Amino acid sequence: MEEPEGVIKDMDPRLRNLDFAFNPRSIAFVGATESMRKWGFLILNNLLTGGYRGEVYPVNPGRDTVLGLKAYPRVSDIPGHVDLAIFTVPSRQVMEALRDCAEKGVKAALVITAGFKELGEEGARAEAHMVRLAREAGMVLIGPNCQGICCPANDLYPWMPILFHPPRGRIGYVSQSGNILNMLIGHAVTAGLGVSKAVSSGNEADLRTVDYYTYLGEDADTEVIVSYIEGLQDGRDFVSRAREVTRRKPIVVLKGGRTTSGVSAARSHTGAMAVSEDLFEAACRQAGVVVTRSIEECGITAAAFVNRPLPRGRRVGIVTGGGGLGVIASDFCTEIGLEVVPLSSRTLEKLEKMLPDWWVPGNPVDLVAGLDFSVIKPVIETLMTSGEVDAVMFLWIGAPRLKNARLKGERGMDLSGVWQSMDQYFLEHIGELYELMHQLQVPLYIATSLRMEDGGDPDGCPPLVFDSVESACRAVSAMAEYYRFREVMS
Amino acid sequence: MEEPEGVIKDMDPRLRNLDFAFNPRSIAFVGATESMRKWGFLILNNLLTGGYRGEVYPVNPGRDTVLGLKAYPRVSDIPGHVDLAIFTVPSRQVMEALRDCAEKGVKAALVITAGFKELGEEGARAEAHMVRLAREAGMVLIGPNCQGICCPANDLYPWMPILFHPPRGRIGYVSQSGNILNMLIGHAVTAGLGVSKAVSSGNEADLRTVDYYTYLGEDADTEVIVSYIEGLQDGRDFVSRAREVTRRKPIVVLKGGRTTSGVSAARSHTGAMAVSEDLFEAACRQAGVVVTRSIEECGITAAAFVNRPLPRGRRVGIVTGGGGLGVIASDFCTEIGLEVVPLSSRTLEKLEKMLPDWWVPGNPVDLVAGLDFSVIKPVIETLMTSGEVDAVMFLWIGAPRLKNARLKGERGMDLSGVWQSMDQYFLEHIGELYELMHQLQVPLYIATSLRMEDGGDPDGCPPLVFDSVESACRAVSAMAEYYRFREVMS
């Protein structure tokens, strides 16, 4: 039998079987149904409407077909080979079907079904049985009590959120909460980026967060890993293995359960074992993992790493299309430990020649004039080549686009075409700025209310454009911190 | 001569003239032009396309008409009465035109023109002359070096941002930066709320931030005031007068120039005098002003006050449609000093009867099941009537709506109608929850990825729906803080 395209080397050989989960040639769906409120319908339907092109075998002893596909009473009745088995049947029915899978040689199980460890001792025992069986069969088991996985490159979306088909991209996601997974992905996707692979890891009965790190660490499609964590089962293992990954690519983490009440909420959510916040942060520092404090910060910071060089220090040059934005950015940078450094007189003189007479020399560089890239580009280039800053921010935010924007009066000129031509002008020139960034290897962070298109082409996709000054500042700081870790490690 | 509808009592009588700025029957536009890159065109055009219905008199000695309106060489040539004069001519031409306005009895001047105090001593002298003349004539002067004003109730948008016509609402804005004004308004408007009056206050040569507070404090259309400040000219005056306003309605402030580099950026932006951050925060605490730390936090927190009772303490009950959201909310609440209090056994027993068998009793209340308001409503009501919490949060966030959401495959069922029916279901029932809030006077904070419609009806407009857990938590905290201030003051 031919194996699906593998990308993993030098790891626990069983982990390689995650290839069968993310790139399956065929799927058995245990619990497939047409009852529209059941997860066995919603997830199967997402898989089918998501465009997956492999074989799908619904397993349901009570039906001949499900959603137009021939159904089978048991996994063992399926005539063809099965790479991935998905479970949405009630927890007491999982074991028997899993045994069938083991006999059939299925290599990956996605157990979405809840009702295991999180419900107490009996559930924990059932969960342990399940894991033992999977491991003996050399099968990887995702979940239980999770919302599914996705791999856009293979049009694979066997997960809960309806019509949520993020495009292909370079960010890998591991989350101990399905909702938060969706929100994290949302922040990247609405900013124009996409997903390599995502997994809602649930109770982590078999595979743990750090196993997915190892797998995604070897995955050529994944440039950065994002992760929501409520609890760790083995802190030492986490540190040493995460560190192996962060030597090569960044991991950005959001930790749930930082406070007593958060820990108590986490206990009833996934039954996660609490980790003291201080210990966790120390472990992350040791492992070179970037720690964030909110869902948005986590999602955006991770996306910032894609296709952008790292700042080699904490000195920032700010170019702004509005004086107030420069003030806010200076404050925020300083508050998170970045340095809005004074520029040398040599650099200021160069800038002075490009800017109007009434320009007040300094950093931030307030452009004073309008959106004119014949000025903006040399200004940014001057900062990048000065050797005086490690990162450049370009801030151009103003009024948002209102859904109900329209001409209200019968007087005046219709300027509604202006937005489109501004977008076009901006998009044309933003590409040149990013070229400059790659050429000079000084990272550029653009914050603007002009919106990029939805992503979809991970190779051609330009780096993230930020929609707030604060999130851009945080990204600079996180990336500079990661650069320092890499330097220390090398 | 009949005066426009006034709303101000017991204040410096000259301040009443701001009525002529926000509700003018006629406007002279000094610097009107058809040169499409000039502010004299863009702002005039925004005024006309914004739907303003009063008389507009372009003033331009070189033209017979501007944008189809008869033009006049000087203000003194205008045949009719003028309530408001707007200036976009170069700074050296403002004085003469302002003199004409004084003679004509114009009561309000909006000087958008830059090139005064912010450019140094000569500009400062010109600015001082201008102010003296305005004050002698009993005229109020907004600016100079600003981006304009708006008053949606009167379809009045003489300001810079193109096609930015925020709807009428109950939030008043004063900002020392035009860009940040637009962004602050944007956060409220994209969340469904609107603007009472907004002003970009520029150099504040005549009227200062606190003057606008006093005016908006008396304005019946304004329920909450939002303000971006880079510098104060008289801290003592600010505290005593802001305090007069905050006794009646909240003021939410974002301060630019909290750090050395921020202060230095502010100096070259508006020439604002620096205030030490500690002094400023202490002054705000004394004055009952709510201090925020980012543009988004400021815009959203202010909007949270609209049409919502204040929490009478810091105890929070959390109801969540996803376990991870409850964890994140518990952490965030605790970190900003809110208490996610344990619920009494009496309350937990009541909740237990409403929720499934596998519900784990506690606060947050994890709904476990789907979006079912026949459960959600009594759960929220139980918390509100328990006397055990001062505010209730209801968190229901998941996958965002993608612009490119679509069926990708040819298999499965088209569920694209689901979003619309979920929205409808949500919108129908959210109204009942807000009724409950008003009836029981316990504030409710809903965070959801389901979107409300754009605002527009300030009286019928439901309170803000949050799009992140963190911004909802911050709003609870800010409002509880303001409640405490009011209690101390009364």
Same domain, B346 and B201: no
Q: Could you tell me the pLDDT band of residue B7, with boundaries at 50, 70 and 90? A: very low
Same domain, B206 and B142: no
Same domain, A94 and A183: no
* Two tokens, residue B147: 């981006």
Helix (H, G, I), strand (E, B) or coil at A22: helix
Sheet of A84-87, strand order = A55-59, A26-30, A84-87, A108-111, A140-142
State how far the Cα of A125 lies from the Cα of A127, in Å rounded to an integer: 5
Q: Which residues of A touch B33 (CB under 8 A)?
A: none
Same domain, B435 and B341: yes
Residues 71-110 of B with CB under 8 A from A: none
CA–CA distances in Å: residue B321 to residues A150, A173, A201: 22, 21, 18
- Structure confidence at residue A440 (pLDDT): 98
Domain-located, residue B156: no
Domain-located, residue B449: yes
DSSP-derived secondary structure letter, B159: B
Query: Do the Cβ atoms of B318 and B326 come closer than 8 Å?
Result: yes
- Structure confidence at residue A211 (pLDDT): 97
Domain-located, residue B68: yes
CATH of the domain at A37: 3.40.50.720
Across the interface, of A47, A257, A321, the residue whose CB is closest to B331 is A257
- Structure confidence at residue A274 (pLDDT): 64
Same domain, B223 and B100: no
Q: Could you tell me the pLDDT band of residue B6, with boundaries at 50, 70 and 90? A: very low
Query: Do the Cβ atoms of B147 and B160 come closer than 8 Å?
Result: yes
Say yes or no: ipTM exceeds 0.90. Answer: yes
Q: What is the dihedral of CA A67, A73, A79, A85, to 10 degrees?
A: 70
Q: Residue B401: which residues within 8 A CB-CB, separation 6 or more? A: A163, B419, B449, B451
Across the interface, of A50, A325, A408, the residue whose CB is closest to B409 is A50
Residues 308-367 of B with CB under 8 A from A: 321-335, 340, 358, 360, 362, 364, 366
Same domain, B358 and B472: yes
B166–A265 C-beta distance less than 8 A: no
Q: What is the dihedral of CA A377, A382, A385, A389, to 10 degrees?
A: -100
Residues linked to residue B276 through DSSP beta bridges, in sequence order: none
Kindly state whether B67 is in contact with chain A, defined as any CB-CB distance less than 8 angstroms: yes
Domain boundary among A244, A275, A306: A306
Q: Which residue of B has its CA nearest to A366?
A: B269
Domain-located, residue B160: no
Domain boundary among B306, B340, B360: B306
Same domain, A375 and A477: yes
Same domain, B294 and B380: no
Same domain, A329 and A477: yes
Q: Which residues of B touch A399 (CB under 8 A)?
A: 161-162, 164, 182-183, 185-186
Domain-located, residue B413: no
Kindly state whether A259 is in contact with chain B, defined as any CB-CB distance less than 8 angstroms: yes
The helix (run of H) or strand (run of E) holding residue A154 is: none
Burial of A437 (0-12, 13-18, 19+ CB in 10 A): buried
Same domain, B374 and B465: yes
Residues linked to residue B225 through DSSP beta bridges, in sequence order: B172, B251
Query: Do the Cβ atoms of B86 and B30 come closer than 8 Å?
Result: yes
Kindly state whether A37 is in contact with chain B, defined as any CB-CB distance less than 8 angstroms: yes
Q: What percent of chain B has pLDDT over 90?
A: 72
Kindly state whether A3 is in contact with chain B, defined as any CB-CB distance less than 8 angstroms: no
Kindly state whether B294 is in contact with chain A, defined as any CB-CB distance less than 8 angstroms: yes
Question: What residue type is A328 in one-letter code?
Answer: I
Question: What residue type is B340 in one-letter code?
Answer: V
Q: How many domains does chain A have?
A: 3
B189–A261 C-beta distance less than 8 A: no
Domain boundary among A162, A196, A225: A162
B327–A269 C-beta distance less than 8 A: yes
CATH of the domain at B231: 3.40.50.261
Q: Sign of the C-alpha dihedral, residues B282, B286, B287, B291?
A: positive
Q: Which residue of A has its CA nearest to B182?
A: A399
Kindly state whether B413 is in contact with chain A, defined as any CB-CB distance less than 8 angstroms: yes
Across the interface, of A228, A415, A456, the residue whose CB is closest to B45 is A415
Domain-located, residue A18: yes
Helix A277-287 vs helix A235-246: crossing angle, to nearest 10:
30
Kindly state whether A427 is in contact with chain B, defined as any CB-CB distance less than 8 angstroms: no
State how far the Cα of A472 lies from the Cα of A461, in Å rounded to an integer: 18
- Residue A198: closest CA among A189, A272, A190: A189
pLDDT by residue, tens only, chain A of 490 residues: 344 444 444 578 899 999 999 999 999 999 999 998 899 999 999 999 999 999 999 999 999 999 999 999 999 999 999 999 999 999 999 999 999 999 999 999 999 999 999 888 999 999 999 999 999 999 999 999 999 999 999 999 999 988 888 999 999 999 999 999 999 999 988 888 899 999 999 999 999 999 999 999 999 999 999 999 998 888 889 999 999 999 999 999 999 999 988 888 887 776 666 677 888 888 899 999 999 999 999 999 999 999 999 999 999 999 998 889 999 999 999 999 999 999 999 999 999 999 988 888 999 999 976 778 999 999 999 999 999 999 999 998 877 777 666 666 678 888 878 777 887 888 888 889 999 999 999 999 999 876 655 444 555 567 788 989 999 999 999 999 999 999 988 7
Q: Could you tell me the pLDDT band of residue B459, with boundaries at 50, 70 and 90? A: low
Domain-located, residue A132: yes
A407–B49 C-beta distance less than 8 A: yes
Residues 202-221 of A with CB under 8 A from B: none
Across the interface, of B162, B183, B327, the residue whose CB is closest to A262 is B327
Domain-located, residue A410: no
Residues 4-33 of B with CB under 8 A from A: none
- β-pairing verdict for B444-448 and B391-396: parallel
Same domain, A185 and A223: yes
Helix (H, G, I), strand (E, B) or coil at A235: helix
Expressed as residue numbers, the domain containing A349 is 316-399+418-489
Same domain, A190 and A332: no
Q: Could you tell me the pLDDT band of residue B203, with boundaries at 50, 70 and 90? A: very high
Query: Do the Cβ atoms of A42 and A160 come closer than 8 Å?
Result: yes
Residues linked to residue A174 through DSSP beta bridges, in sequence order: A199, A227
